[in-house]
Homo-oligomer: A and B are copies of this chain.
Amino acid sequence: MASKKDYVNTGAYLRTLYDALVTNLHARLAEEGYGEISPSHGLVFQYMNENGSRATELAFQAGMTKQSMSALVYQLEEYGYLKRKDDPQDARAVLFVFTAKGETLKRKAQQINYQFEKKWEEKLGAAEYQNFRSTMQQLVDSNE
């Protein structure tokens, strides 16, 4: 590791890159008519299960309160990206699943990110980019 002096914070790199990705995604989404979708809605798309997820479950995965997550899924339901489904296991619970519109948005967002990352991949070369991603995966896994 470099000396403490003049050491550029790794956090600054992480933040800058994350910000570039998110800013690009939402700018492109807004252009395509998805202006109502904000970065925090992304967490829902990130963790949503194929068979439906509970707000509480999503909240835990995203590291936020159930009240906050509840607000997010409620908005997405109102916009038509999610629909409610009864949980056959538990009468207290509400499952949320993607509508067709929600699936379309998810694919669209993945495409946009995929294209944006291509620029990074071209910059570094495919092998090095693959290595970069696998490094991050190792670090994420080790923190769990």
Using CB atoms and an 8 Å cutoff, list the residues of chain A in contact with chain B: 1, 4, 7-22, 25, 42, 46, 63, 110-111, 113-114, 117-118, 120-121, 123-124, 126, 128-133, 135-140, 142-143
Select one of B17, B46, B124 contacting A9, CB under 8 A. B46
Known pairs A20-B143, A132-B136 / 5 extra A-B pairs, C-beta < 8 Å: A1-B117, A4-B111, A9-B46, A13-B133, A16-B140
Dominant secondary structure of chain A at its interface with chain B: helix
Residue ID in chain B nearest A12 by CB atoms: B46
Contact in complex: B13, A137 (CB < 8 Å): yes
Question: What would 6 A/B residue contacts be, using CB atoms closer than 8 Å?
Answer: A4-B114, A10-B113, A10-B117, A10-B136, A14-B14, A14-B21
